[in-house]
Amino acid sequence: MYIWYLRLVYAACVLALCVVVFGAYVRLSDAGLGCPDWPGCYGHLVLPADDAARASAQAAYPDRALEAGKAWREMIHRYLASTLGFLILLIAALAWLDRQDPRQPVVLPLLLLGVVIFQGLLGMWTVTLLLKPLIVMAHLIGGLTTTAMLFWLILEHRRRDRRPVLAESSGLAIVGLAVLVLQIALGGWTSSNYAALACPDLPTCGGEWFPSRADFSEAFVMWRGLGIDYEGGVLEAPARVAIHYTHRLGALLATLVLGFLGIRYLRDRRPELRRAARFVLLALAAQVSLGISIVWFGLPLPLATAHNGVAALLLLATLNLLHSLRRTPAAV
């Protein structure tokens, strides 16, 4: 039974990463409300194919024009996410049924099931609350949390014969992870408020090192009530500048912390830590390059989608380094 559990964990981890990347593509291509209802799409589980059925579906939702391309992107994302949820349900069930096996973790798979159920609710609220930025950001974090937990289960399996030692410097990796999670949340807030191009130049913002017109008082209001359609954003330009500028500062901090972390263990005597540090530095370099390119080239969709995908890879690389530290004896 354990081997089937393990196969499902590997498959679910790959699928979770695909769901995160495709979800970013859906959001960035303005298809987040491609289906105005949930869980169906214009009242159907499969978008109607013929003109008469589409006209009937459109009549049921006259305030939201039916755009087949956007609707299909949203529905494909839902199909993938539903498949992922089913796999995680099977993982939790197998973990519980095989709980007497000493190799089998139980607590984390059950927690993972709880996370993915809540993630499903966030997906519903993303649509029903009309792309409310707080919900969209939480949905992104939930998707990455799901991916990270699956990846952690894989790491636990691969290194299960090693006793946790909590090396003397693992605190730095924990700080790096915390800074990265905060930066990812800022990225989700930037994207959901359509502030990715609020500063069109680099390294300055609107020709200033500190943008004088930035409105921080409006930039981070988490809740603005119900019934507001956030598609396209509702903030004025100064608030979007403040969000973008904060995200840049966060990127600088994350680069410094993770760069220091990677270089610190790149020089370590232990080959496993050196390898893990290389993955962190490679993912970090790719992410910084993508962030700069997005501004320079005006937010092209492929680069913006890749920016989300590499953020996920950077998160997994940081988790791998942290796990390596916990499972690798201190150098003597």
Catalytic residues: 74
One-letter identity of residue 273: L
CA angle 158-161-165, nearest 5°?
100
b/e for 65-94, b at 16 or more Cβ within 10 A? Answer: ebeeebbbbbbebbebbeebbebbbbbbeb
Q: Are 89 and 110 in contact (CB under 8 A)?
A: no
For residue 116, the one-letter residue type is V
Residue 242's closest CA among 278, 271, 205? 205
Phi, psi (degrees; rounded to nearest 5) at 215 = -110, 90
Report the DSSP beta bridge partners of residue 41: 44
Buried-state track 263-292, b at ≥16 Cβ within 10 A, e below 16: ebbeebebebbeebbebbbebbebbbebbe
